[in-house]
Each structure stands twice: as C-alpha cells, then as structure tokens.
Structure 1
Amino acid sequence: MKLLILGGTRFIGRHLVAAALANNHEVTLFNRGNHPSALTGVETIHGNRNTDLAKLQNRRWDAVIDTCGFLPGAVRASAEALSDSVDRYVFISSLSVYADVSVPGTDETAPVATLTDEQLKKAEAIDSSGQVSAVNYGEMYGGLKALCEGVAEEVLPSRVLIIRPGLIVGSHDYTDRFTYWVARIARGGEVLAPGRPHRYVQLIDAQDLAGWIVKMVESKENGIFNATGLPSELTFVRMLEECQTVSGSDASLTWVSEDFLEREKVAAWSEMPLWLPEDNPKLKGFMFVNCDKAANSGLHFRPLSETIQDTLSWREKNFPNEELKAGINSDKEQSLLRQWHETH
C-alpha cells in the first residue's frame, strides 16, 4: 500500500511509520519539518496543513492517516483536498471525545462532547504555529476532536476510520506521563505512590496501537473504534512492581491517601501521572472504557514488561539527564514523604 501520514515524526506518528515500513508499505509524510524523522526509506513533503495542501495535489495513496488534527476547519480542508487522492481517511481521535465517563463501560455509541460557537472561535484563535498538543486546547480538546470526526465523515462518508485511543505509552512519548513512573522507579529509593494500590488503570503501548491501525487500513476497515487496554486488567501497584522488576531497582513504594494528596495540593495526572481522585463522580468510568470492538478486530497487547523496557531504554539512551515533563519534582516528593511519615 501507499500511505500518506499527516505528521508522522512524533510519538504515535513515528510508530505508525515504523509499523507501515515493517509491512513493506510505501510511506509519505506531510509535515512542517519541525521534527526530522530518523527513519530511512520515507518520502517527506514539507508544508503546513493550513496553507500548503496544494503540495499534495496530483498524487495517489491508498489511505491517509491524520495524526495531528485538532481543529475541524483544518480536518475539513485536508479531507476535501485528499478526497480524490485516497480511498480511506484514518483520523486519530481520542477517548476524550466522550461527554460522560461517569459510568464504566463507555463504548463507541456513547454521546460525544459538544462545543459552543464561542468555544470553537476561542479554539481557532489559539496560536498553532509552534508545538501543538491536547494541552493547548484544555477542556475544549474533546469537543474539538468530536467535531473533527464529524467533519471527516461528512466529507468522506463511509470512507473514514476513526481511532479513539486512551493513554498511549512507550518510546517517543513527549508527555512523559507513563515515562515518569518508569524513570522514577528505576532511580530507586522511597517512591511516593498515589491513593489505593489496587485501583485500575488503562493504557496502550504505541507499538501495539500503530501495528493494529496499519492492519485495519490493510483490511479496509472503517467506523469508530475505542483503542486502549482492557478494563479491570492492570492495577497501579502491578504497573509499578513491573517497573521495579524490569529496572532491577531497590525502589520501595509508599502509598499515601488521596485525602493527603488533595490537602497538599498535589496535581492529579500532571504531578501524579495516571492518578485521578476516585471520589470524582465524573471520572468513575474513565479507566474502564469498553474496547471490545477493537479487541475483536485484532488489537493485541504485548506484555507490560516489554513496554516498560522499551520506554526505559529509549529514555536512558536519548534523555538520561533531561528533566521529565510530567511527575512531581524530587524535592517536593521527599517533603511530602516526610510529612506523611510524621502523621501516619
């Protein structure tokens, strides 16, 4: 197959390129050139999706994979520009599209978030000339992704494959959320761990996700698919213990209560990655999303130990001394541990 990837040089995009090449497909990237690809055998067309779509004219691909669509106007423009150039439009969306995750078991039929005209205008006014991610759009992110999905299907009816991933982890993860725990456990010593040890988490290895997406394109699938780990399979404590085993560290886990973390104003998800307070009724189902449809369509999951090893090796090889973008800093962690031990 001939594949066009919008983006393709960051995180899931890099893994998609690797998966496509491993299956002997021809890959063309279209991006701004801000993150040069280390992979050989890939054609790259440099351009901005907002102004340079004409560079893609008079070409033909079996499918396009859009890894960096945040605004519906931009997705509409790319879908229209490529409508006669591709058979299938693959849009990488997010589980954040769902309007309500207060109940476990959310599947692809659940209602999605909406935005007001004012919110859409606000989102469109955000500067997208630099590095763009979900963080730029905050609470509007889910609604924007939902609008992008709708626009793609409107322009290319029955020719769109929509992937809604959960927390993607592994090498090349620029968010450092999962990487924080891998690196922190590897460093050893006493580790501050959040809340209840046996709470469940959901995540998906970028390699598993990318390999499956390429196979879905090969099979000419369309429709909507949640794509994350199976619910009620992985606990927080097992995740951290696997990190200990893989790294061989002497880390010891000190589990502190959610009340303590909230009282000390420790930020969920950012300072304590993957931790969300269990007393938040709006998030009761956030780590229990139904992904049976994807699993029944061939989505498989590698052992967690492999994901941890890949992440650790990538981190140690490329950024051994670089400060992590997520996770609590060492001084604050040690201060909190002292406070916890003084009162418990």
Structure 2
Amino acid sequence: MSNEKTLDRRQFLKSSAIIGGAVGLGLPAAAGAFTAEGVRPMAYRPETGEAQPKPLRILILGGTGFIGPQQVEYALARKHKLTLFNRGQTNAGLFPDVPRLIGDRNVAGGHDALKQGKWDVVIDNPVRNPAWVRDAGQALKGRVGQYIFVSTISVFSDYSKPGMDENGPLHTPGAEAIWASNDGAAYGPNKVRAEIEARTQFGDDKLTIVRPGLIVGPGDLSDRFSYWPVRIDKGGEILAPGTPNDPVQYVDVHDLSEWIVRCGENHTLGTFNATGPKGPTTIAEMLLGIKSVTTSDAKFTWVPAEFLAEQKVRAWSEMPVWQPAMGATLGFMQVNCQKAYAAGLTFRPLADTAKSTLDWYKTRPAAEQEKARAGIAPEKEKAVLAAWHAKQGA
C-alpha cells in the first residue's frame, strides 16, 4: 500500500487541520496532526450537558512526579477531595493546599501513615518495587473502595505478534531478590509481580490495572518523545528510522492521567492496555504532525532498520518512539487497546502534545537541555547520514 493511500485511509486531517511539511517528509500528500475523538474538558462544564461527578475521596500515592500532577489538577477541577502520600521531596512546593501524608516506601514502616483514613479511590502511580504494593495494601486493608494500579505494557514477554490484547503472554514474575533492582531487565518481571500483589491485596472486585505504553508530554524527563519536537524545531536534514509506514504508539500524559481519574469516577474495574492514538498511526504521520507546529525547514531521510543496526543506532533510545516493525518487535507498537477505548480513554490532537512538549522543554535549565537522556547525538546523526548517502551513491 502506498503512503498516500495510507494517509488518506486514516483521515488524520480530521484534527485541527494543521497542514504542512509533506515535502520535508518525502510523502506524496500534505497532512496534519491526527486527532482526538472527543477530547474531554479540563473540568466538567454544565453547558455541555456533562453531569457533575460525584465528589470522591481520592488518595494518590505519589502525585508530584510526572503523571501525578496532571491527576491532581484534573481531580481538583472536578471537585474531588484529595490526599497525597509521598516523601515530600519531589516538587515539594506543589499543591500546598492538598493534605499530604508523609512516608518513604523504601523503608520498613514507610506506609504507616496510610493506616488511618478511608478513601473511595486510591491511585498508585508507577512503582518498580512490588513490595510497595504489598505494603500499601496491608496498610490500607479494608478502607479502600477501588485501587488503581499504574502498570505498563512492559509486562508482556512477546511482542512478535501485532494486536496483542490484555491476555498476551507475561514475563515470569520477578523473584523477591530483584524487587528493588533498577536493572532494566527486572522492570517487566517486577511489574508483573506488582500486578499480582495488587490483586492479592485488593481483590478483583476493587482493582483496576492500567498498562500504559510510552507516556509523553510536558514533565517527561526521559526525553523519549521530546527528542523529536526539539530536533525537528532545529531543522535541517534529520535521520528518520525505518520506513514512513512503521507503526508508533504513545499516550499524552494529560489524556492518561485524566482517564485514570475518570476510571475512579465510573468505578471502572479490570485490566486495560492504555496507549494510543486511537487509530493506527505511522511514524511519518507523527513526525509530520510535530513538524506542523514549528516553522522548521526539516527534511527527513528515511534509513532502513538494517542499516541503522549496522551503524549501531539503537531503536527506542537513540531513535525514540520507534522499534523495527519486524521480528521480535513487530507488535511492540501495535498493542490492542480497544478495551480502554471502550472504557473512555480519549486522545487530544498530536499538535497539542507536540507544542506543549516543545514549549515545556524550552523552559528547562540549559544544562538539562544539553544533556538529553534519549535521542541520537548530533555528531553520530551526521555520521550515519553521511554513511547512508555514501551507500546510496549520493
């Protein structure tokens, strides 16, 4: 199927109709950012016919990191009564009017502050250590209406098949000896064990497990998405990985966080893969949508996965939001999230995500901007492009 037919079929001009950059991408048709279908307002708006949500007592474990602040702002706007539980160290000045319980989840007795009080909903934001889930469950026992655990699609052990749903094969649960490990290889197994602990502590009748893919947007210090808006904004020839039709998936931090709060409002239970966009999306569409919010003269040179491997260019880290659409990673960016979509997960336009990410990035300290944690180094990018052109006889 040609690129033009792919773009037409997906009709991603349904969005905010930001058009441009097709020549730079080397695509045969102009296009804009693909779209949300039903973007939710920040707070309820009576004029739209949306009912005032029933006020809930919500406890957020964390609340001041990446996805936490978005949850807090959304929940406050929707008139819920919040309590935060954390060490009081990360972004300690945020939300001074929200009650806070202090505890260090890494130490014995660190969850003791949770032994008093009752909550309709508890949101446990990304944790690596299953002991945190176990200890929180024991401290909260019998005083929680719903426990929402933020897991990850990294629980899956096999990404070779597209369209994997929540019943896909999982890693062997992490043994207790590795629960506190920061080794990347332990991440998926530990998340599997954490899901088991959540089910053991709270039971299926009170449990929601959310498995996001790559979470992107303002506040993401991993730079795994922001590399692209920043690099495209600089312009010039850009190394683009694989083929224009390689699939990508990601979820804006606002969309994910707001949906998690709504899962509490609606008492939505079960396990959900939670990434997007809603329609199948290619990396060409993503890069085009990002370029559309800049005035960049960027031109993309598509370099096959095999050549990138020869040049030791790493997918995901040096080429963020991308994995080769073949072999063991064929389905990595094609996870089935229909269950979450049916449960109300919606998406804002890519244009919004790209612009808010770029604007936020430019507010970061210069030292952070110069030491991005993801994306190919400029010198290496130039060298790989030169090698590719030489191979093509350009």
Give the TM-score, by structure 2 length.
0.80
1:230-269 aligned within 5 A? 230=277, 233-269=280-316
Asked if 1:191 is matched to 2:191, the reply is no
1:84-103 matched pairs, under 5 angstroms: 84-103=142-161
**1:57 to partner: Cα distance:** 2.1
1:329 pairs with 2:377: yes
Q: Secondary structure at the match of 2:172?
A: coil
Distance 2:254 2:347 in 1: 9
Q: What pairs with 1:41-190 in structure 2 (closer than 5 Å)?
A: 41-50=97-106, 51=108, 52-115=110-173, 120-124=175-179, 126=181, 136-157=182-203, 158-190=205-237
SS in 2 for 1:145: helix
Q: State the Cα deviation string for residues 35-67 of structure 1 (Å, max 9, x = none).
A: 115334322222212432111222122111111
Q: Is the 8 A contact 1:201 1:236 kept in 2?
A: yes
CA RMSD of aligned residues (A): 1.7
Q: Report if the CA contact (8 A) 1:190-1:252 is conserved.
A: yes
Equivalent position to 2:349, from 294, 303, 327: 303
Match of 2:258 in 1: 211
Identify unmatched segments of 5+ residues in structure 1: 127-135
Which deviates more, 5-14 or 40-49? 40-49
Give yes or no for contact 1:231–1:287 (8 Å, CA) kept in 2: no
Aligned to 1:207, what secondary structure does the other structure show? helix
- Counterpart CA distance in 1 for 2:373 and 2:73 is 25
Query: Does 2:338 correspond to 1:292?
Result: yes
Unaligned ranges ≥5, structure 2? 1-55
Higher mean alpha-carbon deviation, 97-106 vs 315-324, is at 315-324
> Which residue does the alignment assign to 1:338?
386
Structure-2 separation of matches of 1:235 and 1:23? 34
SS in 2 for 1:333: helix
Inter-CA distance 319–179: structure 2 relative to 1 (3 Å threshold): farther
1:6 aligns with 2:64: no
| Higher radius of gyration, 1 or 2 | 2
CA contact (8 A) 1:168 1:205 kept: yes
1:267-305 C-alpha deviation (Å, 9 max, x unpaired): 1111111222233x2221111111111111111111111
Tell me which residue corresponds to 1:132: none
> d(CA) in 1 for partners of 2:131 and 2:299?
49
Distance 2:126 2:249 in 1: 23
Equivalent pairs counted in the alignment come to: 331
Matched, 1:315 2:361: yes
Moved more, 267-276 or 68-77: 68-77
Distance of 2:236 and 2:172 partners within structure 1: 45
Q: Aligned partner of 1:327: which letter? A: G
The match for 1:202 is 249
What's the offset of the Cα at 1:100? 2.1
The alignment status of 1:15 with 2:62, answered yes or no, reads no
**TM-score, scaled relative to structure 1:** 0.91
